[in-house]
A and B are shown apart, each in its own frame.
Chain A
Amino acid sequence: MSTVENLSDEERLGLLQGTLEVLILRSLKLEPNHAYGISQFLEQQSDSEFLVDNGSLYPALQRLLQRKWIAGQWKTSPNGRRARYYSLTPAGRKELLRATSKWQRFTVAMAKILAPEG
């Protein structure tokens, strides 16, 4: 967590439109998680480059629920807290595959263009 304090809000990367939902799906690929866990996961995985704003996270979760890509279930956490755990549905899994390949193509293409000795 130490790096979090070292990066000011301006220095962090803003999330591109539509990326948050893919990242949420990815974060649920291995195991179900609750909102706080998801935001923790995303910050850690991105080396604190992404700071997930709760004002975006919660509506994004709602959109994913509405599309039936994730399902929510109240469970007790390992440390005894009740929390709502989200898990990928089969449709969500399919969407994650589709979106991952799309983003990979996108980043490769961006990298080609922005490569310093292009």
Chain B
Amino acid sequence: MRQWWSKVERALGRRRNLASELEQEIDAHLQFLIEENLQQGMVPDEARTAARREFGNMTVVQERTYQSWQFPGLESLLQDIRYAVRGIVKAPALSFLVILTLAVGIGANTAIFSFVNAVLLRPLPYPSADRLAILWSGLGYSGRAPFSSFEVFHLRQRSKQFDQIAGIWVTNGALPGDGAAEQVKVADVTSNFLPLLCSQPALGRFFGPEDDLENAPSTIILTHGVWARRFGSDPSIIGRSVRFGRSRSTVIGVLPADFRLIFPDDASVPPNVEVFESIPVGPWRADGPAFLHVIGRLRTGATFATAQSEMDSAAAQINKLGGRASLGNFTVSVFPFQADTVREVRPTLLCLFAGVGLVLLIGCANIANLLMARARRRLRETTIRAALGASPSRLARQFLTESLLLGVLGGFAALAAGYAAIHAILAARPPSFANFDRVPLDIRVLVFTFAVALGTSVLFGLAPIVSVRRLDLTRDLKESTRQAGFRRHHWTSVLVSAEVALAFVLLIGTGLLMRTFINILHTDPGFRAGNLVTFRVSVPGYAPLHLIQQKLSVLPGIRSASAISHLPLDDAGNWYDYYYREGASSAEQTSVMADHRSTLPGYFTSIGATLLEGRDFTDADDAQHQHVAIIDDVLARQLWPGQSPIGHKINLSDSPQGFYQFQRDWAIIVGVVHHVQYHSLTAIVRPQIYVPYPLAPRPSMSFVLHTSGAEAGLATAVRSTIDSVNKDIPTTHVEPMQLLVDRARSESRFASLLATLLSVIALVLAASGIYGVLSYSVAQRTTEIGIRMAIGAPRAQVLRMILADGFASILPGLLAGFLLSLAVAPLLAHLLYGVQPANLANYAVMLIGVFVISAFAAFLPARRAMKLDPLTALRYE
């Protein structure tokens, strides 16, 4: 302690005294030596010189002695930092270039990592999120399906691993409260659902067992948004009865403002649900429809594996109870909620993460080259410092300090760039990322950014160290700076090759993603998206719906109007069921699942779907006449392969008695329509079956209007038409169908856009790397080129010489990039559509592209070399 304090004392206050004391002491020492030399008979001058030689390097003695007063390393660190700051300030252009490259490279990583962090790493914003599970039913070939109320009841009865099992089903419904009738997403939830995802309501209470009782008064819970928008954030809303659709409900709770409904993309549970009502669960009907999306919370100590095995045996027991399960192999799958939720976005994010990683590596290679070139320019200075006694480790530490300082500055710039990029990405993000609207720059992102910044600065900081690793004092002092750099630097060309290779890999990936996007643009969705507008209505029954259709059909600017229960690419509230043909074996009966669609006549004409066979529905197709159905060609091929299904009987579930009063029924197939892409533009998820509205009434329908193109004023005309039928019919805004199509394309557009951006950055970096290295080499070799020209080398030969120099690193880079891409591209397969990872055209285009750009980058300095005037070049020093 005392020793430490004496160091502090020396370091802070008494440095100057100590230094002068040491100087005096050394002086005395020299005097002793001189005296002795004089005694041996030397002349005074000789004696002094000999004494100095005997004493040794005075500066080294002083410096080492100073070191014993210092905190180990601290002062030399400060010195290194001062030196580094001086180096950075003295070369502002270079420093700016390095920091800019880091800002772009690390900033991109910060942005993408923020998303990885928010989406993949951070737990979902729910209490005990790590114990939440999502359950999917399976029947026949179809997995990832919802459950019936009956099944949920029996799962609950048999579960000890879950302390809660809850269900949700989202449908379209009316916005509660007085004011303009408006349609919103409404969720039917079991009374234990909300407490699983939210620790407590902002106001009032959650649903309780009392809300599940038969004849319980209708109650609803509002989101914070609706409460603010519709009820002016009035706290007295709790307990008040408000208009809700065609009846009234009591508001019992308001959710907190930060509540988010985050479900897997394919669960038909959109994030924009605004109203919750409770739905009881019971063993009422074994063959009731499966519509509930189920989540559960593991009991403490339970694992997903034990829960899965418990659900396996529960499913086996439910198989014996009747209902759809009794028809065959009913299964229950348990997945961690978070992992299942990010299932779709994970590959996209990870690919982007890899992409920004590549960009950063290219940037690092560029910076390494810049710093190496500078280290070589400083070779003379470094050599002199080494000759004056600087140890190699000290020199290395100085280079490293400078790189680290650049890295830290780059890290700050990257944070700013990353912050901007996050907001740009949030604005452009596809709906599959819609659930993740909060991407914070939290401590993990900060740590990541600076870890990357420091890691990369060590990486590129090693470059100049390697290049001055072996100093040859005599040689390097004699050579001029210019010649000193002329020695071939193996590392430089390796770095350039690496840049070309990495850029090529990125371009191959981008090419594939762009091809995918183009394919998706040209894919046939099964309908005509142009001149099509849509809106949803809540309908009291068939008669008003029919009337609205008739009135809309004759509006000016509307060619035809019809309605369907689910719009293509608008998945909310979807349900599906099993279907079988007449005479199917019991195993076959559950083997085919199809989306259930309720339509009005004229739907196929309005939306532009192709009727392949038979006829459309007419107004005469109702419950009183022969029950009929139309199927799509996919279902037709599954049930009646190789023959026409027209006139065949199909078993389906319908509800001619009223909303959701399902029964199994037989219908005659009267038409076959071309498959419409309801779920995504790229995958045929399930076939569809269409049933006329009177056989399958729904409380909410979506209108499709085929317009003649002029859509101005249409929204007002539509609203007043509906008001003329009934003022209280809630509708949504009128939207072009194109919006839904664009939304479905947005994920691919997003991925290919970001990939293109990354590729452009990579190409620019790689090209500037080639350009920079060759320019530097030309500048270094100016004298040599002058000599060559003076002794008669033709200009073309000079050009060839520099180009060959460039190609010596470009061509191996292309080869390495090609091989690397062959290995890496298959990892993208999950994101591709209609293009193989090993697409030949893609490779050819990118190979030529990278070659041309690299060649151009090499040509510019080569041309400059060619145009040198030999006389000027020779004088150049």
Contacts and interface: CB of A to CB of B under 8 A. Distances in A.
B56 A54 contact: yes
B736 to A, nearest CB: 82
Given A79-B35, A81-B28, A81-B32, A58 B3 contact: no
A81 B56 contact: no
Interface string B89-116: 0000000000000000000000000000
A59 B55 CA distance: 15
A34 B28 contact: yes
B64 interface: yes
A62 B66 CA distance: 9
Which has the most chain A C-beta neighbours within 10 Å: B3, B29, B31, B57? B29
A12 interface: no
A59 B61 CA distance: 8
Interface residues on chain A, size class: 20 to 34
Contacts of B309: none
A54 B29 contact: yes
A84 B29 CA distance: 9
Chain B contact residues: helix, strand, loop or mixed = helix
Given A36-B29, A63-B68, A83-B25, A55 B7 contact: no
Contacts of A37: 32
A35 interface: yes
A7 to B, nearest CB: 15
B35 A59 contact: no
Nearest to A64: B68
A117 interface: no
A53 B65 contact: no
Given A58-B65, A67-B3, A35 B35 contact: no
B33 interface: yes
A35 B2 CA distance: 25
Nearest to B59: A55
Interface string A95-118: 000000000000000000000000
Interface string A72-91: 00000001011110000000
A58 B22 contact: yes
B6 interface: yes
A81 B25 contact: no
Given A53-B56, A54-B56, A54-B61, A59 B32 contact: no
A38 to B, nearest CB: 10
A83 B32 CA distance: 10
B68 A66 contact: yes
Interface in B16-67: 21-22, 24-26, 28-29, 31-33, 35, 55-57, 60-61, 64-65, 67
Contacts of B28: 34, 36, 81-84
Which has the most chain A C-beta neighbours within 10 Å: B3, B24, B56, B64? B64
B126 interface: no
B55 A54 contact: yes
Contacts of A83: 25, 28-29, 32
B18 to A, nearest CB: 9
A79 B7 CA distance: 34
B725 to A, nearest CB: 98
A37 B32 CA distance: 9
Interface string A33-76: 01111000000000000000111101100110011100000000
B69 interface: yes
A35 B29 contact: yes
Contact of B60 (A55, A62, A67, A84): A55
Contacts of B56: 53-55
A34 B68 CA distance: 19
Contacts of A79: 35
Contact of A62 (B2, B29, B55, B69): B69
A62 B57 contact: no
A62 B68 contact: yes
Nearest to A63: B68
B764 to A, nearest CB: 52
Contacts of A68: 2
A36 B32 contact: yes
Interface string B612-626: 000000000000000
A63 B69 CA distance: 8
A35 B56 CA distance: 14
A82 B61 CA distance: 20
Nearest to A62: B68
B567 to A, nearest CB: 83
A35 B33 CA distance: 11
Given A66-B68, A81-B28, A55 B61 contact: yes
Interface string B632-662: 0000000000000000000000000000000
A55 B68 contact: no
Given A36-B33, A62-B69, A67-B3, A84 B64 contact: no
B25 A35 contact: yes
Contacts of B22: 58
Contacts of B26: 58
Nearest to B32: A36
A53 B64 CA distance: 12
A63 B70 CA distance: 11
B344 to A, nearest CB: 64
Contact of B25 (A59, A63, A66, A84): A84
Contacts of B6: 66
Contacts of A56: 64
Contact of A58 (B7, B32, B33, B64): B64
B7 A66 contact: yes
Given A66-B6, A81-B28, A84-B28, A59 B64 contact: yes
A58 B19 CA distance: 12
Contacts of A36: 28-29, 32-33
Which has the most chain A C-beta neighbours within 10 Å: B26, B60, B68, B69? B68
A58 B6 CA distance: 18
A68 B67 CA distance: 18
A36 B35 CA distance: 12
A81 B68 contact: no
Contacts of A82: 24, 28
Contacts of A35: 25, 29
B65 A81 contact: no
A59 B33 contact: no
A59 B68 CA distance: 6
Contacts of B25: 34-35, 58, 83-84
Contacts of B67: 59
A84 B22 CA distance: 10
B65 A59 contact: yes
A80 B232 CA distance: 100
Contacts of A66: 3, 6-7, 68
Interface string B561-602: 000000000000000000000000000000000000000000
Contacts of A53: 56
A15 to B, nearest CB: 15
Nearest to B389: A55
B57 A81 contact: no
Nearest to A39: B29
Which has the most chain A C-beta neighbours within 10 Å: B6, B31, B55, B65? B65
B64 A55 contact: yes
Which has the most chain A C-beta neighbours within 10 Å: B32, B33, B35? B32
A34 B61 CA distance: 16
Contacts of A84: 21, 24-25, 28
Given A58-B25, A82-B24, 13 more contacts: A34-B32, A36-B29, A55-B61, A56-B64, A58-B22, A59-B67, A62-B65, A63-B68, A66-B7, A67-B3, A79-B35, A84-B21, A84-B28
28 contacts: A34-B28, A34-B32, A35-B25, A36-B29, A36-B32, A37-B32, A54-B29, A54-B55, A55-B60, A55-B64, A58-B25, A58-B26, A58-B64, A59-B65, A59-B67, A59-B68, A62-B68, A66-B3, A66-B6, A66-B68, A67-B3, A68-B2, A79-B35, A81-B31, A82-B24, A83-B29, A84-B21, A84-B25
Complex A-B, nearest 8 residue pairs according to Cβ-Cβ distance, in ascending order: A62-B68, A36-B32, A83-B28, A58-B65, A59-B68, A36-B29, A59-B64, A54-B61
